[in-house]
Amino acid sequence: MARQRGMRRLRVAAALGSLVAGLLVTVGTSQAATQGPCDIYASGGTPCVAAHSTTRALYGSYTGSLYQVRRSSDSATRDIGPLGAGGVADAGAQDSFCANTTCLITVIYDQSGRNNRLTQAPPGGFNGPAPGGYDNLANATAAPITVGGHKAYGVYVAPGTGYRNNNTNGVATGDQPEGMYAIFDGTHYNGGCCFDYGNAERNSRDNGNGTMEAIYFGNIKVWGYGTGNGPWIMADLENGLFSGINPGYNANDPSIGHRFLTAIVKGEPNHWAIRGGNAQSGGLSTFYNGARPNASGYNPMKKEGAIILGIGGDNSVGARGTFYEGVMTSGYPSDATENAVQANIAAAGYSTGSGSGGTGLTPGSTVSLRATTACCTGRYLHHTGSTVDTAVIAGGSSSTEKGNASWTVRAGLGNSSCVSFESRNTSGQYLRHRNFQLYLNANDGGSTFAQDATFCPEPGRNGQGASLRSVNYGDRYVRHYVNLGYIANTSGSNTFDSPTLFDDDVSWVVASPWAS
């Protein structure tokens, strides 16, 4: 009896063992089958012909390199891959390779297998600022985020930065159909030409209407625009950014500024569309779907099939923005395919990580902002009446002075993905710029005030704390200059736009509040 029970137990154990093994096989198979955006496009009959991302693999089975960084200390390069098949980028590998030096992103590999990688853009109709007229490469640590809880870095395009491939394989030419999407930072843009991702000229020059088909993001109004003050998703079709069928204004293209923005442009013979949505949640909206523009030269199209990132077709280098991932397809993707891609993007879990911009500026918290320039490390951003300045604050300072140097972080009045600063002492009064100087004023409820009082946190430009980028003057940051507050850049003509000590002056340690 005892022996029989023993045998039965063994048989049960064996059966359970094979059941567990079977389950493991099933789990293993379903993991391997996890889809990326390019698997979804392929199922829809419109496969990716270029797949670029510094943040994650875009195929469920992709294990190759995502991008390459080069460090300044010894010019060595390092390829960065995903943590696992289909996974998020191994940012830790970049961090250890770039420890105690700076790194640039030298290559954004093509995951599609067609070798349509992006590298430093060469000169064209316009020269870039780097030697030989090339564009600058992006700083590899300037756009930190998390994806699915893992740290990753985007491609931070300051004006002058650009990537390109003029010798591609499989990208649409002529009037051939194609689709594309990209994920951008919807709070980082400007009115320069042209923050683009997509199809452009193979000689980096303006070859006439219809020789491009790229996603544009920003608020330049020279060609097209939509409702509100921008930014808008538009199509760069060369010598024109189009927001719909008309050159100029189209009422269906909204201002759109999600912190993580999905932007789509697609085109086929006499038909094209613009779509967009929040890359963190929800679906896509269609902002245009119809015939080619009411302007000559865009039907049929004369696409050339080069790929650009961060620049215009003729290497115009005036624009800024941030890119996380993007693809181009062969064939015109269906809306249903793109909707499934958007669901995949939302599930990937893009986030700014802990606190806004990873800087600890979380709405609801109260902070003091300490200057980091060597002159002034005992000074805090402060207001004297309505004038914003810096002041030395210490334990013995009066409670009024401590309150005048304490700010309650609010969701940005002009863009909830960014922040506003309400005076701890004077509720209802916010830090805002006027004529590029900072003041403390009561919120008048208007849209100009809301924009002037909204700042997008980024990692501090000198490596400490946070830098606060103006949402409506995206090349300007909160700066102290001779102890007064401004929004400044390094190219303006104001004395406070001086490049000397700029990075230090715009970097603020986010400290515990003097008055909580």
Catalytic residues: 238, 314
Distance of closest approach, residue 435 Cβ to ligand AHR, in angstroms: 5
Only one of the segments 56-64, 70-78, 256-264, 429-437 lies at the binding site for ligand AHR (rule: CB under 6 A); that segment is 429-437
Q: Would you count residue 122 as binding ligand AHR (CB under 6 A)?
A: no
**Sole binder of ligand AHR in the list 270, 285, 448, 491 (CB under 6 A):** 448
CA distances in angstroms from 427 to 26, 364, 424, 447, 450, listed in the order given: 58, 13, 6, 19, 16
**Sole binder of ligand AHR in the list 314, 325, 497, 504 (CB under 6 A):** 314
Q: Would you count residue 135 as binding ligand AHR (CB under 6 A)?
A: no
- Give the C-alpha separation, 231 to 242, whole Å: 13
329 by DSSP, 3-state: which?
strand
421: nearest Cα among 445, 390, 447, 457: 457
**Sole binder of ligand AHR in the list 8, 9, 11, 434 (CB under 6 A):** 434
Q: Would you count residue 312 as binding ligand AHR (CB under 6 A)?
A: yes
Of the pair 302, 433, the CB lying nearest ligand AHR is at 433
Only one of the segments 46-54, 129-137, 238-246, 285-293 lies at the binding site for ligand AHR (rule: CB under 6 A); that segment is 238-246
Only one of the segments 81-89, 265-273, 310-318, 507-515 lies at the binding site for ligand AHR (rule: CB under 6 A); that segment is 310-318
Q: Would you count residue 493 as binding ligand AHR (CB under 6 A)?
A: no
Radius of gyration of the chain (CA): 25
**Sole binder of ligand AHR in the list 135, 452, 497, 505 (CB under 6 A):** 452
Of the pair 145, 194, the CB lying nearest ligand AHR is at 194
Q: Would you count residue 110 as binding ligand AHR (CB under 6 A)?
A: no
172: nearest Cα among 115, 213, 210, 216: 213
Quick one: tokens of 449? Answer: 């005030």
278: nearest Cα among 254, 253, 264, 257: 257
CA distances in angstroms from 435 to 142, 337, 485, 488, listed in the order given: 28, 47, 12, 11
Of the pair 9, 434, the CB lying nearest ligand AHR is at 434
- Burial profile 301-317: b = 16 or more Cβ within 10 angstroms, e = fewer: bbbbbbbbbbbbbbbbb
**Sole binder of ligand AHR in the list 90, 110, 178, 238 (CB under 6 A):** 238
Of the pair 92, 208, the CB lying nearest ligand AHR is at 208
- Assess contact for 155 and 94: CB atoms under 8 A: no
**Sole binder of ligand AHR in the list 103, 137, 147, 241 (CB under 6 A):** 241
Q: Would you count residue 206 as binding ligand AHR (CB under 6 A)?
A: yes
Report how many residues bind ligand AHR under the rule CB under 6 A.
Answer: 19
**Sole binder of ligand AHR in the list 435, 444, 482, 500 (CB under 6 A):** 435
5 by DSSP, 3-state: which?
helix
Q: Tokens 């679906």 map to which residue?
A: 283
- Give the C-alpha separation, 271 to 287, whole Å: 14
CA 251, 217, 208 angle in degrees (round to 5)?
A: 90
- Give the C-alpha separation, 447 to 472, whole Å: 11
Q: Tokens 């985020």 map to which residue?
A: 145
Site map 14..53 versus ligand AHR, x via CB under 6 A: ----------------------------------------
**Sole binder of ligand AHR in the list 108, 142, 194, 381 (CB under 6 A):** 194
| Binding residues for ligand AHR (CB under 6 A) | 193-194, 206, 236, 238-241, 312-314, 316, 433-436, 448, 452, 472
